Amino acid sequence: QAKMQGKDRYVVFSNEYKKRNNRYVKLERDLHYALEREQLELYYQPIYNLQTDEVTGFEALIRWNHPDYGLIKPTEFIPITEETGLIIPIGKWIMEEACSKLLILQEELNNNTLTISINVSPIQLLNPSIYDQIVDVIDQTGIRPELISLEITESVVIDEFKHSEALLERIKRLGMKIYVDDFGTGYSSLGYLYQLPLDLIKIDQSFVMMCNEDIKKKKMLKTILNLANEFKMEVIGEGVEKIEEFIELKTLGCKQIQGYYISKPKPINELKQMLAELKLKNEKRTKAV
Ligand code: C2E
Ligand code: MG
Ligand code: MG
Ligand code: MG
């Protein structure tokens, strides 16, 4: 009987595996048309300044509105775009879309200092056309490059150090900012921190989560904040979900945060309302303190 059960379980597992595999194959096929069928959409998550209690900009986060599967997260389909090379045209679209939508937002919100942060994949950075793509986007949209930051992950800089260094220097000369995403995870080498022209460290959520209770995390946060300070880099704390984490980061002197506590990433047409609600929430919190 046990054997039977074991066999059954195997069958179930196998079907599940096939289903997932099928999904992958389908997604891979459908991704080729996603751009032209206008199924890709950028959501925007506010970046919040703890000293001024203001939203200073947004991070663009991609979503795929799939006709059968519904909304698909980037963690599932960005790897497929990287394997197929589709990240190159899609990456260009992301930059164009994010920059042109920022200009619309600035006008709507009557604030021309708002910034946009764009995630770039390692594959994009290694593609010879990336620099020209960036220059094209700036020319086409007329956006001030100072308002754009590119978010890169540590692995890029480690694997192709010399190439990345030269490219990032050129991008910086345009006026754009370079952020290190998910700092403290993955390949952790401190060597690149002082050798590359980095403007800002995004502290990974793993250090932020429960930092109010966990003394070790608090110490890690202090250390990262000191490090950033020594190297004249700014900091954003990622994934702030609770008021206790918000208060802890503020107390530690972290100037900027992102996270569900402020707002989830939203489609562009929901940003105005979100900002209005945020203002009310701020007023309540300030009164309570
Ligand atoms: P990331 O750049 O580190 O983005 C932060 C992720 O954390 C986002 O997930 C965001 O929705 C989520 N997040 C923000 N605040 C909170 C919070 O308080 N709690 C929790 N639990 N999560 C929070 P998302 O949008 O699913 O993106 C996942 C990753 O996919 C991104 O990580 C980034 O590496 C990649 N990605 C997203 N959009 C793009 C894109 O346009 N291009 C590229 N190349 N990669 C992208
Ligand atoms: Mg990011
Ligand atoms: Mg991140
Ligand atoms: Mg991340």
pLDDT tens, position by position, for the chain (289 residues)? 444 454 555 555 566 666 667 899 999 999 999 999 999 999 999 999 999 999 999 999 999 999 999 999 999 999 999 999 999 999 999 999 999 999 999 999 999 999 999 999 989 999 989 999 999 999 999 999 999 999 998 666 666 777 888 999 999 999 999 999 999 886 556 777 788 899 999 999 999 999 999 999 999 999 999 999 999 999 999 999 999 999 999 999 999 999 999 999 999 999 999 999 999 988 888 887 6
Going from the Cα of 238 to the center of ligand 4, the distance in angstroms, rounded, reads 9
Q: Which pLDDT does position 195 carry in this prediction?
A: 83
Q: Which pLDDT does position 18 carry in this prediction?
A: 65
CA 237 – CA 207 distance, rounded (Å): 9
Of 175, 183, 59, which Cα lies nearest the Cα of 117?
59
Going from the Cα of 84 to the center of ligand 2, the distance in angstroms, rounded, reads 22
Q: Which pLDDT does position 188 carry in this prediction?
A: 52
- Could you tell me the two tokens for 60? 């663009």
Q: Evaluate the CA torsion angle 197, 202, 206, 208 in order and state its sign.
A: positive
Q: Which pLDDT does position 218 carry in this prediction?
A: 97
Going from the Cα of 152 to the center of ligand 4, the distance in angstroms, rounded, reads 10
Going from the Cα of 119 to the center of ligand 1, the distance in angstroms, rounded, reads 9
Q: Which pLDDT does position 1 carry in this prediction?
A: 43
How many residues in total does the chain contain? 289
* Cβ of 62 below 6 Å from ligand 1: yes
- The ipTM estimated for the assembled molecules is 0.98
H helices of 241-270, in order, are 243-252
* Cβ of 78 below 6 Å from ligand 1: yes
* Cβ of 182 below 6 Å from ligand 1: yes
Residues 6+ apart with CB under 8 A from 79: none
Q: Which pLDDT does position 286 carry in this prediction?
A: 81
DSSP 109: T
- Could you tell me the two tokens for 190? 């401190």
* Cβ of 265 below 6 Å from ligand 1: yes
